[in-house]
Amino acid sequence: MGDTSNKSTSRREFLKDTGRIAAASAFMATAAPRMYAAQDNTLKVALIGCGGRGSGAAANAMSVKRGPVKLVAMADAFEDRLKSSYNNLKNDYAAKMDVPEDRRFVGFDAYKHAMDCLSPGDIAIFATPPGFRWVHFAYAVQKGLNVFMEKPVTVDGPTSRRMFKLAEEASAKNLKVGVGLMSRHSRALQELAKRIEDGEIGETILQRGYRMHGPIGFFSSEPKPAGISDLLYQVRRFHSFIWASGGNFSDFYIHIIDHLCWMKGAWPVKAQALGGRHYRQSPEGVTHVDQNFDTYSVEYTYPDGSKFLMDGRCIMGCKDIYSSYAHGSKAFAIVSRSGDCGQPSSIHTSQNPTDQNRVWESRVRPDERDPYQNEWNDLVDAIRDNKPYNEAERGVRASLVTSLGRMAAHTGQEITYEEILNCDHEMAPGLDKITMDSPAPLVSDAQGRYPVPQPGIVKNREY
């Protein structure tokens, strides 16, 4: 039986352990309101990634219906972006900001310092290029923070597998996670999704999505100028580089891809696609060195064999189309009339939609017309009411399905969901250890050009 003295507990040890338990209980008693905001406590927010989308998310956070919410820390790799974001937010939200200079952090480790300013149950906003998303999410889960992360949340198979596991860990810790796929919070699209699920358009047999307009953001890039490292150049112009953003395909097209999959109630199992680089010079004749195609056309296939066609184009002077549609066996739906989730949505009795054959059109309350604000109100409601709320798994799946179409176009192959999920090409390994002096994940040639996809030549990875 062994030495019974090792199994006994002295009164001193018992009291010592009881003291630890009491101290822990006292801590949890004070932490619980912070974690779940059951009382009228202020939720502190840290903004990591101070570009336009991050600043917009911070503004939405400070405009929620169920405050108080206060911005207390900011972080970015670039001081000028942080300063600009701070000044712009201060103009409109000064009373809801408490971000002194010692809580404004610059560098690749700035995300840690910003999140260290929060308590368990506060909110971290991730709006950096998505290549860094898993790094920041892992630290937030470790610290017990709720999260709002911008889309996309992954750019390749290895990081998707990592993020799926982190999503599970977040749920196990009862953390609330919002993902910036705001179409899911459009009240018009929510009503349409319910009507489609209830059979109002019959069986969905075809979907079409379009995002075609001139170049925006950092879609195209000229050779790196002097005075900036390759790494910082690629992070700054993240739309131009697949490792950082998934390229313009992932960043621009994910909203329509996500909401049409939602309308279908399924995720594609495979994709085949085409695309190409047509106009890759600036008006001054300088060759663009980014990795993007100018045009993409993807045919996704759902488990039931039905198709979803997604067309994208970034070329000046062409017809602009930016909308999405669902063809049913009984009726036709305009999902997004204009933009990523443009209202009103509608259902028509003919495949040729007119006002005369419209049988339903969405009507949304004025205070719920902004899906960007809705997603923040929904997240904070879940935090304050301690409701299960974790969009991370769905965000990873939407990001991976988007990358599936991109990879099919870039390789010229039919790619299955399982193939991209299990692909071993991690485009930027080691981002959790990156510093300002680290080499860039992508190396240019002597002329400053970066590898571009070569469909039919490079078949098992995108470059």
Statement to judge: residues 72 and 165 lie in one domain: yes
Statement to judge: residues 163 and 306 lie in one domain: no
Statement to judge: residues 149 and 209 lie in one domain: no
Per-residue pLDDT, 23: 37
Per the structure, how many domains does the chain have?
2
Q: What is the pLDDT of residues 300-311, one digit of tens each?
A: 999 999 999 999
| Residue 382: inside a domain | no
Strand 270-276 vs strand 295-301: parallel, antiparallel, or unpaired? antiparallel
Statement to judge: residues 78 and 146 lie in one domain: yes
Per-residue pLDDT, 184: 98
Per-residue pLDDT, 55: 98
Shortest CA distance to 213 belongs to which of 157, 293, 294, 148?
294
Statement to judge: residues 165 and 201 lie in one domain: no
Q: What is the pLDDT of residues 192-231, one digit of tens each?
A: 999 999 999 999 999 999 999 999 999 999 999 999 999 9
Per-residue pLDDT, 285: 87
Residue 159 three-state SS: helix
| Residue 93: inside a domain | yes
Per-residue pLDDT, 80: 98
8 A C-beta contact, residue 366 and residue 372 = no
Statement to judge: residues 43 and 155 lie in one domain: yes
Statement to judge: residues 256 and 325 lie in one domain: yes
| Residue 458: inside a domain | no
Cα–Cα distance, 154 to 230 (Å, whole number): 22
Tokens 């972006």, located at residue: 81
Give the residues of the chain that fall short of pLDDT 70.
1-40
Cα–Cα distance, 417 to 423 (Å, whole number): 10
3-state SS track over 16-79 = HHHHHHHHHHHHHHHHHHHHHCCCCCCEEEEEECCCHHHHHHHHHHCCCCCCCEEEEEEEECCH
- What's this model's pTM, rounded to 2 decimal places? 0.91
State the residue range of the domain holding 250: 186-368+390-433
CA angle (406, 409, 411) in 5-degree steps: 105
Q: Give all strands of the β-sheet with 204-213 in edge-to-edge order.
A: 358-361, 346-348, 332-336, 321-328, 204-213, 307-314, 295-301, 270-276, 415-416
